[in-house]
Amino acid sequence: MERERTLVGVIISAFIVFIAISDKTLVNEYIIRYILVCVILIVIQLASYFSGKYRRIIDLFQIVFSIILITKGMEIVVIVVPSVIYSLLINKYRKISYVSSMAGFLLIINPENIALFLLYSSIIYLYMDSLYKREVSEKDLKNNYKIEREENHKLIEKLAYMDNYRNHTNIMAQINERNYIAQSLHDKLGHSVTSSIMQLQVSKAMIDKDKNLSMEYLNSAIENLSEGMDDIRLILRSLKPQEEIIGIESIKTLLSEFQNNSRICAELKVTGDIATIDSSYWIVIEDNLKEALTNAYKYSNATKIEMYIEVYNKFIRIEIRDNGKGSEKIAKGLGLRGMEERARSIEGAISFLSNNGFSISMIIGL
């Protein structure tokens, strides 16, 4: 705004010179005076622009200087006043202050020029006020942009912290799991193997002296090793998660990562016994969910996505729906056709509905 206001002041000052030169009734001495006054006004305008914190003092000096010139007979200088006064009175009461100031100048100008001055000052006010409002709007946009950048920075830091925490948790889980395996092998298998080795050594030493005793030790060693193998199977079975746990946890992780990355709320609701869902079904469910999330993020403008997994006696029903804009006509591209093919590969059926958002419904028989 300051740049535009300074430019207006310079143009007005130059206009005063033009009027003075065009007025044939003025002698050269008065023309020179007008030119000198306008040069001073231009210098004051430029000084006000570059002065920074002293701008208001310089603007006030310009008003006083203009009043002195008006009282000395150079009434044309009054056209500089409105823009300067507006800049001085920028506040929430600027309209009342401006009108009051202009009313004061009506007392020192020629009554014949009052109507023209009122029209001119009104035009200047409207122009300067539009500049002021534009400046305020630009400042608000910059502030909002700054706040949004700060919020995005905090969100990125939070996501980084969550990733580090998750990585740390995974590492600790792996360490605990390895410690459990090592301790279990040491406590159970180590004892069996050690005992079996000792019995095999005795059996070897006694094979020529007492064949029956040697066979007893050999059979005992075989039994110990068999028990050790059973212990290994129990350990591995306890470490291996069930298929339904792997499947549902993958779905939860996928929805959680999508929500963190897209800032779209993603919810999962499960009913029924998910233990009846085969691993091949989980693969199809997860792949179709990935495609549905990608489409929702790219096209739907949704703020919320819900996924339902409902397990019944004879079938499974999976529904994925969003609250986005939907589509009047569903065009089946590669993504939707791929979902249909995956559903058919496990003898399932899938349908799409675009009403109050977009909905994907899949039925799989048990």
pLDDT at 317: 94
CA dihedral 12, 17, 22, 24 (to 10 degrees): 130
Assess whether 234 and 250 both reside in one domain. no
Total domain count, the chain = 3
Residues 209 and 282 reside in one and the same domain: no
Model pLDDT, residue 88: 63
249 & 357 share domain: yes
Residues 272 and 360 in one domain: yes
Q: Per the domain annotation, does 147 fall within a domain?
A: no
Identify the pLDDT of residue 234. 75
3 state SS for the chain: CHHHHHHHHHHHHHHHHHHHHHCCCCCHHHHHHHHHHHHHHHHHHHHHHHCHHHHHHHHHHHHHHHHHHHHCCCHHHHHHHHHHHHHHCCCCCHHHHHHHHHHHHCCCCCHHHHHHHHHHHHHHHHHHHHHHHHHHHHHHHHHHHHHHHHHHHHHHHHHHHHHHHHHHHHHHHHHHHHHHHHHHHHHHHHHHHHHHHHHHHHHHHHCCCCHHHHHHHHHHHHHHHHHHHHHHHHHHHHHCCCHHHHHHHHHHHHHHHHHHHHCCEEEEEEECCHHHCCHHHHHHHHHHHHHHHHHHHHHHCCCEEEEEEEECCCEEEEEEEECCCCCCCCCCCHHHHHHHHHHHHCCEEEEEECCCCCEEEEEEEC
The reply to whether 138 falls in a domain is: no
Measured distance CA(41)–CA(63) in Å, rounded: 10
Q: Does residue 165 sit in the same domain as residue 227? A: yes
Residue 240 has what pLDDT?
58
Helix 114-184, helix 211-239: angle, nearest 10: 170
Quote the pLDDT of residue 312: 92
Last residue of a domain, one of 207, 239, 271: 239
What pLDDT does residue 334 have? 85
Query: Are 335 and 275 in a shared domain?
Result: yes
The answer to whether residue 155 is domain-embedded is: no
Distance CA 13, CA 240 (A): 88
Residue 68 in tokens? 């002195």
Write the Ramachandran bin of 317: left for phi over 0, alpha for psi from -120 to 50, otherwise beta.
beta
Contacts with 313 (C-beta within 8 Å, 6 or more apart), sequence order: 366
Q: Which CATH number covers residue 327?
A: 3.30.565.10
Separation between Cα atoms, residue 213 and residue 359, nearest integer Å: 75
CB 265 within 8 A of CB 258: no
Contact (Cβ atoms closer than 8 angstroms) between residue 364 and residue 343 = yes
pLDDT at 95: 64
Do 282 and 331 lie in a common domain? yes
Of 239, 271, 291, which residue sits at a domain end? 239
The last residue of a domain, from among 67, 90, 109: 109
- 89 with 22, same domain: the answer is yes
Question: What residue type is 95 in one-letter code?
Answer: K
How far is 70 from 59, CA to CA, in rounded Å? 16
**Confidence at residue 86, expressed as pLDDT on a 0 to 100 scale:** 66
Specify which residues 304 forms β-bridges with: 265
Distances (CA, A) of 205 to 201, 212, 219: 6, 12, 15
Domain contains 42: yes
User: 363 - beta bridge partners?
Assistant: 317, 349
The pLDDT value given to residue 280: 85
Do 203 and 248 reside in the same domain of the chain? Answer: no
Same domain? 191 vs 297:
no
266 in any annotated domain: yes
Q: In this structure, is residue 259 part of a structural domain?
A: yes
Q: In this predicted structure, what is the pLDDT of residue 20?
A: 53
Ramachandran class of 150: left when φ > 0, alpha when ψ lies in -120 to 50, beta otherwise:
alpha
Whether 222 is covered by a domain: the verdict is: yes
Q: What order do you get walking across the sheet with 359-365 strand by strand?
A: 265-271, 304-311, 315-322, 359-365, 348-353
Low pLDDT (below 50) residues in the chain = none
Q: Is residue 329 part of a domain?
A: yes
Domain that residue 27 falls in: 2-109
pTM of the predicted model as reported, rounded to 2 decimal places: 0.42
